[in-house]
Amino acid sequence: MPKPKTTSSIPFSVELEAWLKSSKPKTLHGLDGVFAEKSFGVLFVILLAIPALPVPTGGLTHIFEIIAMLVALQVIVGRKTLWLPDRWKNRSLGSVMEKRVLPTLIKYIRKLEKFSRPRLDSLLGNRLAFGLFGVSVLIFSLAAFLAPPFSGLDTLPALAVVMLSLGIILEDIVLIVIGLVIGTVGIAVIISLGEIIVKLIGG
């Protein structure tokens, strides 16, 4: 998987909004033809956008986290093209994602782009860096998956994946570092709460 190259001056938020408003199929498979080298990162952003919302999801987003983990494994092994079962890659994102989640996400990305710029982007162009990116996404997606339902604790690990992916897309290592910090804190919170629950049950 090559590093997403900045082949034009068009901001990522504009590209994403154009795809959302176009007549092209709004499926996971449709990302490949539109975003090319960025498709892995864009896919992680879309999959973890709903779990990243600061509201309890009741476990309804587990399917997104499972897909994210499957794709992360592909990044780790160095696949350059996305593979998913047909029933997943050809499934529509749904009206909630298209009309509410993605438009809101685009607004936040647009604000982020005002401050973000390519920083140490040369470090993101090697195979090892992308392998570590895949490992990080896998760990944080798994943490979001294992978070107790209705607790909202999946928010931080999911947000970490979104930030990591935007860091790759925008070629900004600062965003990647922020994502790693958020994900680490999220895992620590989940583990701490788990220990409390175990002690309460044991008591």
Q: At residue 115, does pLDDT exceed 80?
A: yes
Q: Is residue 5 part of a domain?
A: no
Q: Is residue 4 part of a domain?
A: no
Q: At residue 60, does pLDDT exceed 90?
A: no
| Average pLDDT value for the chain | 83
The residue segments making up the domain with residue 144 are 12-202
Q: Quickly state the pLDDT bin for 140 (edges 50, 70, 90).
A: very high
Q: Quickly state the pLDDT bin for 182 (edges 50, 70, 90).
A: very high
Averaged pLDDT for residues 107-127 = 81
Q: Is residue 40 part of a domain?
A: yes
> What's the whole-model pTM score?
0.85
Q: Quickly state the pLDDT bin for 7 (edges 50, 70, 90).
A: very low
Q: Is residue 2 part of a domain?
A: no
What's the pLDDT score for residue 177? 94
Q: At residue 173, does pLDDT exceed 50?
A: yes
Averaged pLDDT for residues 182-194 = 90
**Long-range contact list for 26-34, CB < 8 A, 24+ apart?**
26/92, 26/93, 26/97, 26/98, 27/89, 27/90, 27/91, 27/92, 27/93, 28/67, 28/82, 28/84, 28/88, 28/89, 28/90, 28/91, 28/93, 29/82, 29/84, 29/89, 29/90, 31/82, 32/81, 32/82
Say what percent of the chain tops pLDDT 90: 28
Q: Is residue 1 part of a domain?
A: no
What's the pLDDT score for residue 73? 93
The domain tally of the chain equals: 1
- Name the most confidently modeled range: 4-8, 116-120, 138-142, 197-201: 138-142
Averaged pLDDT for residues 122-145 = 86
Q: Who has greater pLDDT, 180 or 202?
A: 180
Averaged pLDDT for residues 58-65 = 74
Q: Is residue 174 part of a domain?
A: yes
Q: Is residue 69 part of a domain?
A: yes
Q: Who has greater pLDDT, 22 or 57?
A: 22
Q: Is residue 70 part of a domain?
A: yes
